[in-house]
Amino acid sequence: MADISIFRDKKITPSDKDLLEKLGATFDLWKQIQNFVLIKYPKGIPEWNYPGEKYGWSFRIKDKKRAIIYFLPRDKYFKVAFVFGQKATDYVLSSNISADIKIALEKATKYAEGRGIRIDVNDETIISDVKNLVTIKLDN
């Protein structure tokens, strides 16, 4: 099956109850990352987004000009996604972020807005890297 949101009905914006039901144990990790972003950037605008039937519902936190982080709900887990410009990419590659994330970022196609990566969040082992990526995104 295609890698698309578990929430596909355009008419129904997902709720926290829906998230808890679908994400299970990873719901707390979703909320932890969401809260971290909003503490680091209190002006962040959290919102559900429906880019089309091909993708389904996703959640993002943005500022006025750009998305800081995307949350992509899946069955019993979720993905976070980032787009990094060249300066932030260079910073990530020289940081202590895990080698797997660095490799994914290096291999990502370079677009005008930057390089995009998606990271599976199945348990708390990745949370430290995700928080570091949020900090890099906000600082660069």
Domain boundary assignment for the chain: 16-139
Instruction: Tell me the chain's radius of gyration from C-alpha atoms.
Output: 15
Full-model pTM: 0.94
Q: Write the burial class of residue 98 (CB in 10 Å: 0-12 exposed, 13-18 middle, 19+ buried).
A: middle
Helix, strand, coil percent values for the chain (each to nearest 5): 40, 25, 35
Does the structural domain 16-139 have CATH classification 3.90.79.10? no
Per residue in 60-104, pLDDT (tens digit) is 999 988 999 999 999 999 999 999 999 999 999 999 999 999 999
CA distance 58 to 80: 10
pLDDT at 4: 86
